[in-house]
Amino acid sequence: MTQVAIEVHNLSRTFGGRRALQGVSLSIAPGEMVALLGASGSGKSTLLRHLCGLQRADAAPGSRIQVFGRRVQADGTLARDVRAVRAGVAMIFQQFNLVDRLPVLTNVLAGALHRTPAWRWLLGRFAEQERQRAFDALSRVGIEHCAWQRASTLSGGQQQRAAISRAIVQGAKVILADEPIASLDPETSRRVMALLADVNRERGVTVLVSLHQVDFAFAFCPRTIALHNGSVVYDGPTAMLSTERLRQLYGAASDELFTPSREVDLADAQLPALQTA
């Protein structure tokens, strides 16, 4: 039987009387690249934070989250070894989550903290092997020349590439990317998505990426899970989505799902077009 990379069953979360997630269930196979699509407030970020145990779900019978068979949480309680499980799950955030004053290489080395003795990272004495691994990861995303710059000096696209390098150094089997291109221009967005697709294809890493823009889902993600008001309203091939279907699911909010000034003709979109860009 093929092992499941991510398994979610009956997940709900309430904030101040408002249901952010409502009975979410899904399963993602190893090596898939999946778009998590939805307008603002649909529950995308909340779901991703639950998947790596950064937030606890409501207590509910049968509620559970597992990553490669290891429990993250169940019935509203985090697993005792959740930190060990997180070592195999990398989060990439919209706002990059780099330490501005530190060199880019040091930020990337943060991916190795889970396997580095505390005294080494407290003193900044990472093993030469780890330093080389971090530099190689920066080379892979094309910003090795920025290794000794302060992170604050990088452009948005470069910072997101540094965040992807950190995930590579971490050796994660799962990458959860939370709106990684929301603050980037279209061309830089394409490059960042292409890098995520390369990591997925070359390393077999399972990637779940939350998106507003449906055209990027079509270009890079064979499968889409769509959320609306905290519930899964579509889970299937991206190619089966259409402008009409999205308007049925989201109503007026569907306008958020198209790249500004260009509503994509989804019927003409070609899935592999940008994956090798």
* Rounded (10°) angle between helices 186-203 and 156-170: 10
| Exposure class string for 17-46: b at 16+ Cβ within 10 A, else e | eeebbbebebebeeebbbbbbbbebbbbbb
pLDDT of residue 260: 56
pLDDT of residue 182: 87
**pLDDT, block means (10 residues), the chain with 277 residues:** 85 91 96 94 94 93 93 94 93 89 93 72 77 94 95 94 95 95 90 96 96 91 95 94 85 73 43 36
Contact of 209 with 164, CB cutoff 8 Å: no
Q: In this structure, what token pair is assigned to residue 32?
A: 């898939």
pLDDT of residue 68: 95
106 domain residue, yes or no: yes
250 domain residue, yes or no: no
Q: Which amino acid is at 155?
A: S
Contact of 258 with 213, CB cutoff 8 Å: yes
Q: In this structure, what token pair is assigned to residue 155?
A: 């452009």
pLDDT of residue 63: 94
Domain count, the chain: 1
211 domain residue, yes or no: no
Domain that holds residue 118: 97-170
pLDDT of residue 261: 44
pLDDT of residue 253: 75
Q: In the sheet that 77-78 helps form, which strands lie side by side, from edge to edge?
A: 18-28, 6-15, 64-67, 70-74, 77-78
d(CA 232, CA 75): 20
218 domain residue, yes or no: no
3 domain residue, yes or no: no
pLDDT of residue 113: 83
For the chain, the distance separating the N- and C-terminal CA atoms, rounded to the nearest angstrom, is 34
131 domain residue, yes or no: yes
Cα Rg for the chain, rounded, in angstroms?
A: 19
The per-residue DSSP string of 97-114 comes to ---TTSBHHHHHHGGGGG
Q: Which amino acid is at 65?
A: I
Contacts from 60-66 at CB under 8 Å and sequence distance 24+? 60/10, 60/12, 61/10, 62/9, 62/10, 63/9, 63/10, 63/11, 63/12, 64/7, 64/8, 64/9, 64/10, 65/6, 65/7, 65/8, 65/9, 65/11, 66/4, 66/6, 66/7
Contact of 85 with 72, CB cutoff 8 Å: yes
120 domain residue, yes or no: yes
Phi, psi of 16 (to 5 degrees): 55, 40
111 domain residue, yes or no: yes
